[in-house]
Amino acid sequence: MTVPSAAGLVLGYAADRLLADPRRGHPVAGFGQVAAALERATWRDERTAGVLYAGSLVGGAVVLGLVAQRALPGPLPRTILTAAATWAVLGGTSLDREAAEVGRLLAEGDLPRARQQLTHLVGRDTTRLDEAEVVRATLESLAENTSDAVVAPLVWGAVAGVPGLLGYRAANTLDAMVGHRSARYERFGWAAARIDDLLNLPGSRLTAVLGTVLGPDPRGAWRAWRRDAAGHPSPNAGPVEAAFAGALGIRLGGTNDYGGRIEHRALMGDGPAPDRAGLEQARVLARRIGTAAALTAAGVALLRRS
């Protein structure tokens, strides 16, 4: 049994809940600086260059995790290492605080500042969104990033230890940096986006399952997931957002403006558009999912052979 891995995952999750992300010197930010420097040196408008770029950075993160894990073979050092790595790669508490701040600003009637705050969570143009659209965008980001920033890293930590934690976060960070659609990254970012899609498959399905089981309306969540998820352009965000919509009895999806690039997202769920109360319900559900995912990951780690 890999008790150090299981204990480290739970301790790292608890550290994220208590401490959130460090304001300065975050390891993920440091990785992002390295990735940005390498991009400047290697960028070419072709997929091959992007494959080498993403492969070297994700592979390097995995190797770093392997070296660190093998250098600390004792139970206590490995527990501490796993806990530190888990805390570094999780982002659930910071995500929750960002969503809470948007809700607070809306409650105070400060829509302009709420729009600005929302830019911390989404890549879409927020300048003309009304309150309902701000709430929808916040809730959709909360749902998707509960999978990306909480559940998925815990899954990879459970099955692959520290190398899995670091490799997953490297891939997810690269997707955020170069994996989006644009003239510059259409080809170069293709590999980063596909790697992230692949690595997020198990985490997104577990998130949707937990959202279905732990939400207020399991039947509604299952119905929306089965019926509406395929209409989302992301194979991983679709099940998660649909499950949240069905579980909370709300409607997600619609038209999004990404700085001139318009996407018409399929509607998910049967209820009304979410309001501030719905956003608070979503925050509660996201926290429940995170805790359940941490316990599930610890259980899986205990079943792995050391």
Q: What residues form DSSP beta bridges with 261?
A: 258
The pLDDT score that the predictor gives to residue 225 is 97
State the amino acid at position 204 in one-letter form.
S
| pLDDT averaged over 10-residue windows placed end to end, the chain, 306 residues | 89 95 83 96 96 97 96 92 96 96 97 96 92 96 97 97 97 94 92 96 98 97 96 94 98 86 88 95 98 97 77
For residues 96 and 286, is the Cβ–Cβ distance under 8 A?
yes
How far is 290 from 287, CA to CA, in rounded Å?
5
Q: Of 110, 143, 142, which is closest to residue 224 (Cα–Cα)?
A: 143
Decide: 277 and 136 in contact? Cβ < 8 Å: no
Q: For the whole model, what pTM was predicted?
A: 0.94
Provide the token pair at 279. Answer: 């956003």
So what's the pLDDT on residue 257?
Answer: 83
